[in-house]
Amino acid sequence: MRVICLYIDHSRGELKEQEMGFGGISIWQLLIILLIVVMLFGTKKLRGMGSDLGGAVKGFKKALNSEDDEASKKDGKEGKDGSDEAFSTSQRNLESDKQEQKH
């Protein structure tokens, strides 16, 4: 995605265009913001915040994967006879329906 900024060069009276960086912020503006943040917080505190954020993301991914694993285990659970639990449950339901029809 390209963001182009149009501006008027008053010294020449011309309409000029300039390609902007991330979200309309140039690279130099991002570097100045980064420099100010580093000066305010210091590299040690930023490194600690980065590792905490990385740990949080890692824990979130692990939780998502464990939920997926639990769901797949629950769906693919096998009964004692080696058949799927869902199949054995439906078979039991059919057998109970047949018995009810006999009575």
Predicted confidence at residue 79, as pLDDT, reads 46
- The size of the chain, in residues, is 103
Instruction: Output the six-digit token pair for 43.
Output: 């590299």
How far, in Å, CA of 96 to CA of 99, rounded?
A: 5
pLDDT category of residue 91 using cuts at 50, 70 and 90:
low
Judge if pTM exceeds 0.95: no
Element (DSSP H or E) covering residue 1: none
The domain in which residue 19 lies consists of 3-102
How far, in Å, CA of 3 to CA of 20, rounded?
A: 5
Query: What's the pLDDT tens digit per position in 37-84?
Result: 999 999 889 899 999 999 999 999 998 888 877 777 777 654 444 545
How far, in Å, CA of 44 to CA of 59, rounded?
A: 23
Work out how many domains the chain is built from and give that number: 1
